[in-house]
Amino acid sequence: MKILLIGASGTVGQAVYQELAHDHEIITAGPNQADLKVDISDPASIKQLFENAGKIDAVISTTGQVHFAPLSDMNHENYQIGLDSKLMGQINLVLIGQHYLNDGGSFTLISGIINHDPIPAGSAAATVNGALDSFVLAASTELPRGLRVNIVSPTMLEEAVEKYGPAFKGYKPVPGKDVALAFRKSVDGLQTGRVFKVGY
Ligand SMILES: NC(=O)c1ccc[n+]([C@@H]2O[C@H](COP(=O)([O-])OP(=O)(O)OC[C@H]3O[C@@H](n4cnc5c(N)ncnc54)[C@H](OP(=O)(O)O)[C@@H]3O)[C@@H](O)[C@H]2O)c1
């Protein structure tokens, strides 16, 4: 399959790349070091990405920014970061990408554990993750031409403990290769509308 992987240089993206690269053709996309440039917070940039990528069979997103801060410090602008990037960025990959994918193609997005098991300062991330999980359930019922959409919801990766460990005290990390397997299940399988939880 020809797969467009957005966020390939990141912690999750690297694990997914390593899992899938040996038996799929992967085109990487991101704001810096990638085959194709994209800023997922900009719908025009996403449209240009699909124009540049040509016909593809699967889209994987392992990206999306969210602002972390205590609820008492959060404001409208802080929330808007996650809404524009992780939430609408990934939703726009589906809204725009549905017109470019080959018949039977798939989208696999990313959310995370926090909407099920909240951490301090994680309210915006929890809100966005919950909205994404709901979007996938609903969008899967309407996608045309046999297109599928799933989402992977991991706990913290082992590879991210140095960065996120202090925020996830008491959470057991999961190997990145286990998270990558959930992406493989989505891409190579037939399921749709699913939230694949990993590590919890
Ligand atoms: N790490 C974890 O343990 C974990 C667990 C659960 C869920 N998640 C979720 O998984 C997602 C990725 O996390 P991560 O830890 O892998 O992040 P990361 O290591 O910071 O990587 C982020 C990736 O997104 C790309 N990117 C940044 N801004 C972008 C933009 N505007 N448009 C398109 N791509 C952009 C980055 O590209 P550049 O390198 O070029 O900047 C990089 O490839 C996040 O939404 C996070 O909440 C992560």
Cα–Cα distance measured from residue 19 to residue 179, given in angstroms and rounded to the nearest whole number: 10
- Average pLDDT along the chain: 98
Q: Which whole number is the average pLDDT over 11-40?
A: 97
Residue 145 C-alpha to ligand 1 middle, in angstroms? 30
Pairing state between β 36-37 and 56-61:
unpaired
Q: Which whole number is the average pLDDT over 181-188?
A: 98
Does residue 33 register a pLDDT over 90? no
> How would residue 93 be classed by pLDDT, with cut points 50, 70 and 90?
very high
Cα–Cα distance measured from residue 78 to residue 51, given in angstroms and rounded to the nearest whole number: 32
Quick one: what percent of the chain has pLDDT higher than 70?
Answer: 100
Nearest one of 7, 13, 93, 11 to 56, comparing CA atoms = 93
11 lines ligand 1 (CB under 6 A): yes
- For the full predicted model, state whether its pTM sits above 0.95: yes
162 lines ligand 1 (CB under 6 A): no
